[in-house]
Chains A and B, each alone.
Chain A
Amino acid sequence: MSRGRLKVYLGYAAGVGKTYRMLDEAQEMKCHGTDIVIGYFEPHGRQETIAKTEGLELVPRRAVAYGGGKFEEMDTDAILRRQPRVAIVDEFAHTNVPGSERAKRWQDVHTLLDAGIDVLTTMNIQHLESLNDQVYHVTGIRVRETIPDWVVDEADELVLVDLTPRALRNRLERGVVYAPEKAQRAMENFFTEGNLSALREMAMRHTAHEVEEKLSVVPGAEPPGTEAAPAGAPANAGSAPRRERILICLTGRPSSAILIRRGKRVADYLHADCVAIHVAAGQQAFGDDREAVERHMSFARNLRIATHVVHAADVPRAIAEFAREQGVTQIFMGRSAAQPWWKRYQETAVQGIVRHARDMQVTIVAERRR
């Protein structure tokens, strides 16, 4: 049995019309005789959208008890038993109630795809893992529910559902998206014209990027970006560079998460390999720090970055040696913590790595603050 196909409707905020568009297409498929069911649908009280579900078979949700409350989740097993040709699954980025068989809805979707069921789903650009820091920087909102980029990259089709910020704000004002009081708060906070425009641009650029990535895997195709130097450029300026390999230096510091996302994003765009290393210097490899390092390592693995731990006393030297062994072209690291004045004679980690890895590029990733 072949794996089901995944189609993602990508928007930049609630209310742009992702679910509506998805259901519209579902209705059309049903008209053409496709066996299609709704696996999960979030009505949000939006009448026009609810009307679009008419006539579509609905697989009832599963009730889950958790912490004294009752929750409803998609009933993946019931959909598997029903075995439709296509399933509609709203809100790709959703996190299931603790205790569910799978932690994330995208994992449920993978289960359906594995069973040969095609899936139509929806998400917003701010749920993309690698954009998390940028979204925070632009909007001031730290999005908690994220989807690893590779999950979205693997979608067979990605469709941008566009709406101008003005039209979206009109919809909010008319109470189409949220109840009036919530809408008012939303417009003052997240749904400002500036935020919406920035998110919209990210969604457009990301869709363009995915289109380009799909083009580049076509056999015999030139990878985009390496080919043509612009007209008039020196002939050797566009010559194929050697394949880039990025090494991310992980520590227990919170900024490591930013480092991982940024390193992976750059690697993806440059079609570079990406590996991560943590050098355990002995004395710090226990307690909170160790726990934090492990958390970061597992976060990196979730994003499909190979991780390595090396034990050594001289951290910069160990990183440089590992990088050389692995053919790394670029080292990604965080900024060294500011040294108190009495320690200023000591070399910082950045200085140490630059000194040891003179043949490599070293990128110091800034923390994206507000």
Chain B
Amino acid sequence: MSSIDRRPDPEQLLRRVQAGERRERRGRLKVFLGYASRVGKSFRMFDEGRRRKMRGQDVVVGAVQSAIEPDIEAILSNFEIVPPIIERHAGRTYEVIDLSALFRRHPATVVIDGLAYDNPPGSRNPHRWQDVDELLDRGIAVISAVNLQHIAEKQDEVERITGKRAANSIPQAFLAEADEIEVVDAPPDALIGRPGDTSICDARRLAELREIALLLAADVVEDQLQDYLESHGVTARWGAQERILVCLTPRSSARLMLESGHRNALRFHGALLAAYVESGSLGEEDRRLLESNLGLARELGADVHCLHGEDFVEAILDFAREERVTQLFLGHTGADRRLRLWERNPLERLIEAADGFDVRLFPHEEKS
């Protein structure tokens, strides 16, 4: 159970400052993300290079894909190319970025296609994305492109859809840390029937891949947005993502709320959180019920938090604001009417103060 303690941690602040400094010296990385081959990533990438060149930047090409389409070939003729080194290893041909040549040449921007390529054993770096990392460290900007099937964390999902798994991949974190990521989107119909197309490219599978790529990009953008807001001193409140918080108490209809929250989070591709306000005075039976509710929450993939606070309502409200919650799920007993004129019940206070998020009240289930 994690409790929330958001006091600024000096170590964390220092790390942030250092990361900021490092970022300033580093070259900027821009990645074009596509959901399948032939959506036009490479074209967009080279077109970006061409635009920068037209604006007077020193741009060179460090790697191209082996199969080049005619429209890309036309753009390529505009560029200086630092050819990759061809290496043969155990019967396989590898193209390795010529890092030392690029370091010597030191352009403002390098265009590198095929971000997820692997280098042969014994290379300076096992993977091309690590070569790219070195270029960035030397202050060289990189424009690159990658396909969804090469994002390590998405490979299981992609394999379930296509039945295939790409041998080489890049960690999602590398993509998430890129300064800019741009989605290259196209309807699946546009890909079917193009040259090089095979029968596995049926529209449905492509649509599923397309959805995953769009959501991946949205998640990256969400993180970047929160970073931006935090670093600009804006209290991060609403992003574009639905965030559902289920408030647990020992006697509430936890299963109903959690299952509904889970379903909602899936449908909205949102986040599911569950919170419980520690009050310390639970009987043995209630403690047991609560533990089982928390267990269920975790099984459903909820991010479970235990809150501390004098006042249940304040604790929940603070947490909901901090976590940018958009929907709050709460159980009522149906008998929550206030006892005295001047005292409002917690539910009412919560609803009154719930500015910016919806409150969904769940009926109390009779326990047998």
Contacts and interface: CB of A to CB of B under 8 A. Distances in A.
Contact of B181 (A134, A164, A202, A360): A164
B337 interface: yes
Contacts of B356: 137, 366, 368-369
A226 interface: yes
A207 B214 contact: yes
Contacts of A237: 259, 262, 299-300
Interface string A122-147: 00000000000010011000000000
A230 interface: yes
Nearest to B184: A162
Interface bracket on A? 35 or more
A145 to B, nearest CB: 20
A25 to B, nearest CB: 9
A243 interface: no
Contacts of A303: none
Contacts of A359: 363
A351 B351 CA distance: 11
A96 to B, nearest CB: 29
Nearest to A365: B358
Given A207-B185, A233-B299, A237-B259, A197 B221 contact: yes
Contacts of B301: 230, 233
B347 to A, nearest CB: 8
Interface string B306-339: 0000000000000000000000000010101100
A265 B337 CA distance: 31
Interface in A292-306: none
Interface bracket on B? 35 or more
A364 B183 contact: no
A209 B266 CA distance: 11
Given A215-B207, A354-B334, A225 B214 contact: no
Nearest to A330: B360
B207 A211 contact: yes
Given A162-B184, A194-B225, A361 B362 contact: yes
Contact of B358 (A270, A354, A366): A366
A160 B352 contact: no
A63 interface: no
Interface in B261-308: 262-264, 266-269, 296, 299-301
Given A164-B180, A208-B218, A215-B207, A270 B185 contact: no
Residue from A162, A335, A348, A367 whose CB has the most chain B CB atoms within 10 Å: A162
A198 B234 CA distance: 14
A7 B189 CA distance: 12
Contacts of A365: 358
A134 B240 contact: yes
Contacts of A159: 185-187
Nearest to A226: B263
Given A204-B217, A215-B208, A232-B299, A358 B363 contact: yes
B240 A211 contact: no
A210 B354 CA distance: 30
Interface string B238-274: 1111000000000000000001101110111100000
Nearest to A368: B356
Contacts of A212: 211
A225 B267 contact: yes
Contacts, number: 172
A348 B352 CA distance: 12
Contact of A364 (B221, B260, B341, B358): B358
Contacts of A224: 266-267
A107 B298 CA distance: 48
B50 interface: no
Given A137-B356, A218-B204, A270-B267, A208 B239 contact: no
Interface string B166-210: 000000000000011111111101000000000000001001101
B361 interface: yes
A35 interface: no
Main secondary structure of the interface of B (DSSP, over half): mixed
Given A194-B229, A208-B214, A270-B267, A363 B182 contact: no
Contacts of A207: 185, 214
A215 to B, nearest CB: 5
B238 to A, nearest CB: 6
A194 B363 contact: no
A308 interface: no
A272 B207 CA distance: 23
B355 interface: yes
Residue from B214, B344, B359 whose CB has the most chain A CB atoms within 10 Å: B214
Contact of A163 (B182, B210, B300, B344): B182
B276 to A, nearest CB: 19
B183 A215 contact: no
Contacts of A137: 238, 356
Given A194-B225, A215-B204, A230-B300, A157 B334 contact: no
Residue from B187, B225, B299 whose CB has the most chain A CB atoms within 10 Å: B225
Interface in A332-370: 335, 338, 344-345, 347-348, 350-351, 354-355, 358-369
B118 to A, nearest CB: 28
A208 B352 contact: no
Residue from A157, A214, A241, A366 whose CB has the most chain B CB atoms within 10 Å: A366
Contacts of B362: 361
Interface string A255-268: 00000001000000
B359 A364 contact: yes
A351 B363 contact: no
A184 to B, nearest CB: 20
Contacts of A215: 204, 207-208, 211
8 contacts: A159-B187, A162-B217, A164-B181, A167-B180, A198-B239, A201-B241, A354-B361, A355-B337
Interface of B: 30, 179-187, 189, 204, 207-208, 210-211, 214-215, 217-218, 221-222, 224-225, 228-229, 232, 234, 238-241, 259-260, 262-264, 266-269, 296, 299-301, 332, 334, 336-337, 341-342, 344, 348, 351-352, 354-364
